[in-house]
Each structure stands twice: as structure tokens, then as C-alpha cells.
A and B are shown apart, each in its own frame.
Chain A
Amino acid sequence: MTSSTTEAVAARARPEELWVKCPGCGQIAFRKEVERNLNVCPKCGHHLRLTLEQRLAVTLDPGSWRELFADLAPGDPLGFADAKPYPKRLEEARRKTGRLDAVSVGLGRIEGRALALAVMDFGFMGGSMGTVVGEKLSRLFERAAQARLPVVIFSTSGGARMQEGTLSLMQMAKVSCAIARLRERRLPYLSVLCDPTTGGVAASFAMQGDLNLAEPGALIGFAGRRVIEQTTHERLPENFQRAEFMLAHGMLDAIVPRHLMRSTLARLLVLLAPGRRRALAPTVLAGG
């Protein structure tokens, strides 16, 4: 779409599409201004959720993205149907997002550095992990191991996908096996936990990074807040399961604001550059 047609579309858009209400401070801001600020509220710094396309755009060097395995689609191993059959739900999610399942994987560059990247899509059935998410991530790690590339994953997911039953649960183990292989090859994997990352995804690859990073304010945890309140009848702290809470309890390496994410990832990938079980720098050897 050219910029002139984009503006024409924007001009016809309803007012609620021109303006955005910040979930953090409740203030109304001009959508374009928020988007220019990487979808971070200019008033309070709240990090709004990104779509998968927005995430790719703010993360990778322009034009560097090469998607892999985009044609993988799930079957319906259980014939699962509640109010709607599972294939119908999939169809709706596909129409909404334009992709076949809840993750895109591929190769790209950050500040000129090649890497294997996966971005989850919360808009596709809550970013839930079934056989396709497991298979795509597993293949991505395998590809990275072969090509000797580091891996970065941006997670956002409610956990395992109920509609594929125990096979979904097994994907946690499947991706863990792929990560174990990457570790054997001494290639780095940086996990970035975005809002929200919970359940089976938090309890597997999202917490298995060599480094685990998070965006400010991201909800991160194993059990859902409601489940915990119902089982324990405890009053939960205000920032319970937020990234800041997880950092304070020792579960994260760092919280990285969105406008620093690209440069931070680039810097960390240099520090952990793959495969170099290198000689110490001369200054270190000289004690200087």
C-alpha cells in the first residue's frame, strides 16, 4: 500500500481508529503518534501489545525477513468440538490474522547480524501452542543449529492449545529437545517474554533462554491470576506476575524497553557470538 492510499484509508477511518486509549494511564492519544513511538504510550510509557507484523517491523533490519515453513497447518487430531468445531475456530483465526497458526519463524538480520527468529501471534487463538507451533519452533532451532545461527524468540501466549489435547502438551517437550540440541552446539538462544506469556509456553521455551529478557509490564507466569485467587483466596500484589515482579524474584535477566530492544539484542548477540570458544582477549591475558 502506498502512503497516499494509507492516508486515504486513515481519513475514512472511524474516530476510534484514529485515536487510541492507553490501557496504562487511560489517556487518549493520536494513534499515529503512538505508532511512531513503537506503540509505547508517549504519556506513561505503557507498552501496548504489538501485532506480529509490527513486531517484525520494529525488530529486524528492513527487508531482511525470510519466513520459513509458513505452509504448515494443523489437523484436528481429536475431532474437538465445543460450541464450534476446532477447524472452524482455526478458519476464523486464519481470516483474522492471515496466517495458518500462532507463530511465524524465519531468518533475518538485526543491525546486520544474521539470526533465526520466531514471533508469536497472540491474535491467533491466544497465541496457543499446538502441533504447528511446536513443529515450526523445532525446525527453526534445527535450521539454526545447521547454519550456526543464534535464535531469538518473542513469546506471547496463553499456553498450550486445549483443542489438540495431550499432543499440545507434548510440544513443550518437543521444543525443549530442540533447545537442548542448540545448547549442545553452543549457539545462543535469547528469549524475549512479551505481554502475556503464561502456562505451557512460560513453562517451556520462554523460560529456557540462555538469557531471558522481557518487555516492561509484561504478564509472565505459570498459573492464571484467576485460578490462583480461586484456589488460594489470597489477595495478590498489584504487580503480581508482571515483568518487574519476575525480575525482582530472580526469574529474568533484564527488562528491556522497546526502543532499546534492537540495540540490546544486537549487543548481546555479539557478546555471545556463536561457536567461538575463543582465546581470551590479549588485554585480559596481559592482566590489563
Chain B
Amino acid sequence: MAAGAKRSAQSTGDAWERVKLARDPARPQTLDYINGLCQGFFELHGDRCFRDDPAIVAGLGYFGRQPVALVGHQRGHSTAERLKRNFGRPHPEGYRKAARLFELAERFGLPVITFIDTQGAEPGVGAEERGQAEAIARCLVLMARLEVPVVSCVVGEGGSGGALALGVANAILMLENACYSVITPEGCAAILWRESTPENVARAAGMLGLCAPELLRLAVVDEIVPEPGGGAQADPEAAVRLLGVVLRRHLARLARLGPQKLRRARQRKFAAMGVPFLLPGAVANSGPSG
């Protein structure tokens, strides 16, 4: 795996620059994409259990002439909005609101579009008491069995299970400067070297393989969505338009598949994840049959 090591070394500085770009609050966020790409958006609130979590936005609208369900993390642009939305770090009730939307979409045959943009689920006493792990786990298994098209767009920073909870999709699109990782570079550096110095964090970012080209190579994402020159924050409207073009193509493709086919295709897609990287000779009989 010398090639892998070499690539990681080369991309160290580059990866950390991308993470910083992905976190830029001037980049378009879920509500910007929804407002730019959908007509007649009607926001829905609450998990019917505890409260409404502003870190996740959910609702119904039209993508072209097609009614769709929309769910995404919202970090916030201004300081006030970021505080209100807990910097896009959802509590369990955010995931339970998302789950409610997924069930609604299934019941009424609406395609689901999700936008992933969070450093991770909230770590806190209340979040643990109300079952952060269970709330995320529920979203995963629920998305796995939906019989409607699901497209996920990684638009900013996708961090660990809190991001994946909106990501069990038929098609996973990733913006050019977005990242998607099992752990934040800061968290990784703290585990590996005890200290999150800027050098350690940049090194960790390079090692985690969290940039779009690397994730396309690993078949974690299906397509990289180009950003306008200089990045999405430089021209948010153009970034929204560019995602719209790719999103439209994938929704049109998935619209041709029947309910069971959609579910099976999604399950097969995830069953295949990682299989090519198991050691040679150990890959026979892999994946579900039937």
C-alpha cells in the first residue's frame, strides 16, 4: 500500500485546506439549496416526542414538478443563527424529526433529498439521556428500507454517524470541496497524538481520506459536483445551480425504478462498500443474494 501512503503524504496540506473550506459559513447551506432549487417549500417541525431541533431542517416542496421530501443539517450563517441551530449539531430529536419525514415520504411516495452538513451529532448529557445512539441507529435502518428514491448531497462537512444518519441513499453526491469522515481531524489528532496542535490536525486530515476524489475512488460517493471557481462560498448561487443540474439527473434516473428495486439497489450498494478493499482471496461469496 505504498501508493496509499504516498498519496496521503501529498494531500496532507491540501486536505486540511479543504476541511476549512467545507466549514466556511459563507458556503450555501441546506436552506439555501432548498430555496434555490425547490418551489413552494413548506417547513415541518418537531419529533412529536420532545421538541423541534433547529439543527435539522425538514419539509415538503417541489423539485421541478415533482413533490419531494427534504431533510438537511443547517449550521447557520450568522452567529445568532449558528447559536440557535447549535452549529448544525443535532440532538436525538433532530434525527427523530428526520425519521418522521422519511416515514411520511414512504407513505406518500415522495422522493427524498437530504443535505449533509454537520461536524457530528451533539455530544452532551441531554443528548445521551434521550438516546443519541438509538436515534441515529433508527434513521439508518429506516432509510435502508425506504421504497422511494433517496439522494444525499454532502454539501459541507460530513462528520461521523451524525452525518451518515441522513446518508443511506441510492445516490450520494459530494461537492468538490466538501468532506466526509469517520471522525473530525481534531478528534483523530487528539486520539493519535493526545494533542490537537494545528500541525497534528492537518496531518490527521491528510490521513483520513476525507476529500471527494479519495471518496470517489473508495466508491463511498457516486459523483463529485463541481463548485464555481474559488469554491462555493465565492459564488453561492452558482454552487446551488451546479448541484441542481446533477441532482435532477439522478432523480430522473431513479424515477424509472420501481419501489422494491429502489430498496434492493440501495441495500446492494451499501453491501458492496469496502468489499474491493478486503484482502485478495477473501472476497468470494460477498454481498446479499436474491
Q: Which A residues are within 8 Å of any B CB, using their own CB? A: 71-83, 85, 87, 130-132, 134-135, 138-139, 142, 146, 160-162, 164-174, 176-181, 183-184, 198-200, 202-208, 220-224, 227-228, 231-232, 234, 236-237, 240-241, 249-251
Contacts and interface: CB of A to CB of B under 8 A. Distances in A.
A174 B274 contact: yes
Contacts of B143: 173, 176
Given A165-B181, A179-B141, A180-B144, A170 B220 contact: yes
Contact of A166 (B129, B141, B220): B220
Contact of B161 (A75, A130, A203, A231): A203
B76 to A, nearest CB: 18
Contacts of B133: 198, 202-203, 206-207, 220-222, 251
Interface string B1-14: 11111111000000
Contacts of A132: 278
Contacts of A181: 267, 288
Interface stretch (B208-216, B226-234, B241-249): B208-216
Nearest to A193: B133
B200 to A, nearest CB: 10
Interface in B221-274: 266-267, 270-271, 273-274
Contacts of A177: 144, 168, 266-267, 270-271
Contact of A184 (B137, B145, B182): B145
Interface centre among B128, B165, B266 (most CB of A within 10 A): B128
Nearest to A209: B137
Contacts of B210: 165-166
A138 B271 contact: yes
B1 A222 contact: no
Given A75-B279, A82-B192, A166 B140 contact: no
Contacts of A234: 124-125
Contacts of B132: 203, 221-223
Interface in B123-142: 123-125, 127-134, 136-138, 140-141
